[in-house]
Amino acid sequence: MLFGGIDVGAQSVKAVVFDGKEIIGWKLNITEEAADTAARIVFQELLDDLGLKREALSRVFSTGWGASAVTFADGRSSEQVCAARGGRWLFPGARTVVDVGAEGCRVMKLTAAGAMEDFANNSKCASGTGSFIELGAVYLKVPIEEMGALSLAADGVAEVSSICAVFAESVIISNIHRGESRQRIAAGIHRSVAIRINELIGRMGVVPEIVLLGGTALNAGLVKILEEMVGIPLRLPENPRIVGALGAAIQASLKKKGKTAP
């Protein structure tokens, strides 16, 4: 039996087809349409790639920020539960799953058996999320993909406020004016994000293994600073951006009925 998972995030929309044992295929698009349309497009493209028809899938679950807008899904599951499921499926020893997306940061604590027992979220604020790093990249005039490498090349860390993404702009610009190197500023931006993520991990109690998910897990600069703060190495999925969608597909395989739109 085949199952589908769709994760409508703040920045990208992801689809995964899962057969209960393995990932059959996945697709990621940057969200440029309304949530429902974006989800339909990415899902159809994935089905076309795999040469499948919608009917071949037993159930499709949606998750993420725009989950309730996905009208063609059979059910939905919360982003915390899906991230925990997906992270645990990839790393069966996972006890803590950290999901840092474009605009959300969530830390899930799992029992030894793998059930989610607690979670912590960032409040309604972009500090501690991917968009904070993206803003930093804009001010440093660096493509987002190069931020990690830039940070790794730093010989120190510039002071960047961890409080607010809006005020961080002035902090970054004043660092530039002060003549701080771009490398050190990049490291400062990552440190500021890592402090926030580390706070949430601390709230859940640092229980290994810790898995890092979301687009930010592709950023080696952030991973290095976060690992230093947490004190233990993080487990990184090969494809950290689709784990939420994978979790939704796993939920679809486990549950007959998900939540329906409110």
Partner 1 sequence: MNETFARYAADRHEAVKKWKEETGKKVYGYFCCLTPEEIIAAADALPVRITGTGEPLEQADIYIPPNTCPFARGCLDAGLRGDYDYLDGVVAPNSCDIIAQMHYFWKTLVPRPDKPHLIAGMDLKPYVHYIAYPEKITGRAVVPYYLEVLKIFKQELERSLKRVISDEDLSRAIAAYNEDKAQLRRMYELRKSDPPKLSGYEAWQATFSSLMMPKADHAALLSTYLDEVEKSGNKAPEGVRIYLSGSAMDQAGSDLYKIIEQSGGQVVSDDLCVGTRAFWYPLNTELPPLEAIARRSLGTACPRSTVIAPVPENRWAHITSTIKDYGAKGAIFYILKCCDARNAEFPHLRDKIKNELGLPVLFLEGDYSAEGLEQMRGRIEAFIEMIEG
Question: What tokens does 50 get?
Answer: 């795999």
What is the smallest separation between the CB atom of 65 and partner 1, expressed in angstroms?
A: 8
Contact 17, 250 (CB under 8 A): no
What is the smallest separation between the CB atom of 104 and partner 1, expressed in angstroms?
A: 9
What is the smallest separation between the CB atom of 79 and partner 1, expressed in angstroms?
A: 7
Question: What tokens does 186 get?
Answer: 């990049």
Q: Which CB sits closer to partner 1, 31 or 78?
A: 78
Q: Which CB sits closer to partner 1, 53 or 124?
A: 124
Quote the distance between the C-alpha of residue 29 and its chain's center.
Answer: 14
The site for partner 1 (CB under 8 A) is made up of: 65, 77-81, 115-119, 121, 123-124, 259, 262
Q: Which are the contacts of 27, defined by CB distance < 8 A and separation ≥ 6?
A: 14, 15, 42, 43, 45, 46, 49
Q: Which are the contacts of 31, defined by CB distance < 8 A and separation ≥ 6?
A: 8, 9, 10, 11, 12, 13, 38, 66
Question: What tokens does 84 get?
Answer: 């925990």
Q: Which CB sits closer to partner 1, 52 or 254?
A: 254
Q: Which CB sits closer to partner 1, 29 or 121?
A: 121
What is the smallest separation between the CB atom of 48 and partner 1, expressed in angstroms?
A: 31
What is the smallest separation between the CB atom of 12 and partner 1, expressed in angstroms?
A: 18
Q: Which CB sits closer to partner 1, 39 or 110?
A: 110
